[in-house]
Amino acid sequence: MVDYRSMRQDDNNNDASRNEREEYQEDKNEDMEDWRNEHGNPSNTFLQKLAEEGNMEKLRAIATDLDAEFGPNDSAEDLIGSIRAATEAGTNETS
């Protein structure tokens, strides 16, 4: 005799487990993207958001961390350009 309630419960448990794994992976991917934005390979979206918010201090900090060349009066767009140049130069280096 087949116990359909038991089979349905197993399916529900499998679905819940799969959902938890997918949520964990999504969280892990977001954490990785946040880390990249903060430490060495910020996305253009992240940099533009900082510029729109007027967060020049954060842009300067990122540029400094990347040893990008910039001046004290550079605009947000100039800083973003310097950051992009520094990250592109970093990806082409060999060790």
Q: What residue numbers bound the domain in which 10 lies? A: 4-91
Q: What is the per-residue pLDDT for 7?
A: 64
| 43 secondary structure, DSSP code | -
Q: Which two tokens stand for residue 21?
A: 């794994």
pLDDT digits (tens, 9 = 90+) for 71-89: 999 999 999 999 999 988 8
Q: Is 47 a residue whose pLDDT tops 90?
A: yes
Q: What is the per-residue pLDDT for 31?
A: 66
HSE-CB of 54 using CA atoms within 13 angstroms = 0
Work out the percent of the chain whose per-residue pLDDT is above 90. 41
Total domain count, the chain = 1
The more confident residue out of 35 and 67 is 67
d(CA 34, CA 30): 6
> CB under 8 Å to 70, separation ≥6 — which residues?
60, 63, 78, 79, 82
